[in-house]
Amino acid sequence: MLSITLSRKNIFLLILVIGVGISLSILSYHYSGLTADQIGEIASNDIRSNAIIETDGLSKTLLHIIDPVSTNLEILSKIVNYSNIGGTRIIIDAVQNSTKSLTEGYYWINENGRIVSISNVNSSIIASYGGIDLSNREYFVIPKETHTSYYSSAIESIDKIPRLYISFPILERSGEEEVFKGVILASIKIHELGRFLQSELAPQVAGNVGLMDKNGIIIYGSNPSLIGKYYLGEEFQSLVPEEIRGPYNSLLARSLQGSAGAEDLILFGGNKTTLTYQPVFIGGKYLWTLFVSSPHQLAAEVGVLINNQKNFSTLMILIIGAIALGIAFLILSWNKRLESAVNSRTIELRDANNSLLRYNRLLESANEKLSIHDKMQKEFINIAAHELRTPIMPILGDAIYLEKQFEEGKTEVKVDREQVSSIIRNAKRLRRLASDILDITKIESQSLKLNKERFNLKDVILSSISDIRAQLLSSNPLQLENLTICYDPKDIYVYADKNRITQVIFNLLSNSVKFTEKGCIEIMVEIENDTMDSNYVVVSIKDTGQGIDKEILPRLFTKFASKSYEGTGLGLFISKSIIQSHGGKIWAVNNSDSGATFCFKIPQQ
């Protein structure tokens, strides 16, 4: 067994190698955790965005299939002729054939509530319905009293099948007045309508469709027994888990206010579901609200895969560190043997004192060899330190190679697919930078387009605050405890690009959080009256952080203007361009005591 006595220098080198290995492991684990949270949030945002797009598309589809029925009823209400019942029946049959994929039938009911005609039904069968009095039904009473069209909620018929009814009054002008002569009615099976809407949902959106009228009556849902029930009724509420009942009922109440929205619900076990809703207007009147629920199952599965990759990366770094420690130990062992050889040679030269000249030459030779050895030792350590990093590159190279194999259609490789996930993870992380660069390209080519809509600015601010708090909770809980974000919610509606205004508010709020370790961030929204009789909405974000560096302040909203070690310096430039595209203005000032205030204003309409 070789006995090795380590010098202080050698001990220091061993400790340094061990410290570097442990530090790399800790940094890798921490970085992987942050990346996992960010990728999970990106996946959730994708699900949320897809659900919003699908809900909007389904609402337009619903209008598209209902409009022909309404148009047919309106035309029939004007051309029915009691003196030519046979001819009118032929027209009603033709109308039913044109919309038979949706409608169950069209009905002609006279002013006494008696059936005159039913589409595609012969006269003898119609005569058997002559004794049925429908004058007390809502689809008869409301058009009779209001002389306007009627769109029902879910109505259960005699055959226990829930239907949706649309009716138009038959009016005959007598002098200056319009006399009620009956109604033209169309019936739609709700189950058929619901299955059609569910089939129109994109395959990548693993969600369910629901429909509710403006009074909170369920028209369609995944549970058929709830059709026609009130959402606050006992039958519906008994199926809602108690832990989410309050937030869920509040969400449904907001959805019945005639505006679109998307909100997340945390279910039992921490699972998240996004519920998007879109109002349905017909003839300028708010009638129904369309819902799409989308579980975040994919985001959870991505998180599991990333955690597995994180553990694998940490294990690899620990193995590399152990190998490096072994190499360092071998180097020190070799160094010690060389030193022993030099000392032995020096003793031999000292004993062979045949002449002073020869002794001096031998001594100089030994010293020269010792210097060369010391230089070789340092160079070898430098090369070894460099080679410690080299094994990481083959791992990345293998990951790229494996990914290419998957692209070529192979289904089996020598290692698990989790190794490839690290490359995909880093690529997705770069996608945010690519998005910023794409925005810069659009701005500089003057091709930045705005999709304006009317929305509540309060919802955008609350959503941004929620996202910031979620990021701090995962990345810096201590800062979240020491930092207060103050905002007094007010309903202020603006006509602007909702996604772009959200991007601006999130950028400014993130900027304040980055430079405010503790203290307060205050968000204020005001209406400013312009001299040209137009209103502006002014949003201010005031923090108690470090303030704006005097060297940066004059070029704060230009590209790459940043003294932070994090970020690209593009966010404020993009924010300025978005605000200016809305015809607004953005500025920033240092506060008199501490921190800075960022403001922007845009036209309200």
Tens of pLDDT, residues 489-520: 999 999 999 999 999 999 999 889 988 988 99
Per the CB < 8 A criterion, the answer to whether 595 and 545 are in contact is yes
State the CB neighbour count (10 A cutoff) for residue 535.
13
Q: Looking at residue 199, what is its pLDDT?
A: 82
Residue with tokens 């519920």: 275
Give me the helices (H) in 445-553, please.
Answer: 457-475, 477-482, 498-514
The Cα–Cα gap between 127 and 95 comes to 21
CB contact set of 513 (below 8 Å; sequence gap of 6+) = 468, 472, 479, 483, 521
Tell me, letter by letter, the H, E, C secondary structure of 471-497.
HHHHHCHHHHHHEEEEECCCCCEEEEE
Q: What is the CATH number of domain 448-603?
A: 3.30.565.10
Residue 208 identity: N
pTM: 0.46
Given strand 208-213, what is the order of strands in its sheet?
218-220, 208-213, 285-295, 272-282, 261-266
The Cα–Cα gap between 160 and 155 comes to 9
Host H or E run for residue 116: strand 115-118
Residue with tokens 């369609």: 220
DSSP state of 219: E
DSSP state of 134: -
What Å distances lie between residue 538 and 493, 513, 584, CA to CA? Answer: 12, 20, 10
The Cα–Cα gap between 166 and 139 comes to 7
State the CB neighbour count (10 A cutoff) for residue 44.
21
Per the CB < 8 A criterion, the answer to whether 119 and 106 are in contact is yes
Domain boundaries, the chain: 8-45+305-430, 80-191, 206-295, 448-603
CATH superfamily of domain region 80-191: PAS domain (3.30.450.20)
3-state helix, strand, coil in the chain (%, to 5): 55, 20, 25
Tens of pLDDT, residues 407-460: 766 667 666 555 554 444 344 445 555 676 677 777 777 777 889 999 999 999
The Cα–Cα gap between 273 and 528 comes to 38
Is the CATH number 3.30.450.20 carried by domain 206-295? yes
CB contact set of 381 (below 8 Å; sequence gap of 6+) = 13, 331
Q: Do 206-295 and 448-603 come out as alike in CATH topology?
A: no
Tens of pLDDT, residues 296-350: 765 555 656 666 766 776 777 778 767 877 777 777 777 777 877 888 778 877 7
Backbone φ and ψ for 99, nearest 5 degrees, come out as -125, 25
Rounded to a whole number of angstroms, the CA Rg of the chain reads 37
Torsion angle defined by CA atoms of residues 110, 114, 119 and 122, in that order, rounded to the nearest 10 degrees: -120
Residue 573 identity: F
SS3 282: strand
pLDDT above 90 coverage of the chain, percent: 24
Tens of pLDDT, residues 510-567: 889 988 988 999 999 999 887 667 789 999 999 999 888 888 888 888 876 666 655 5
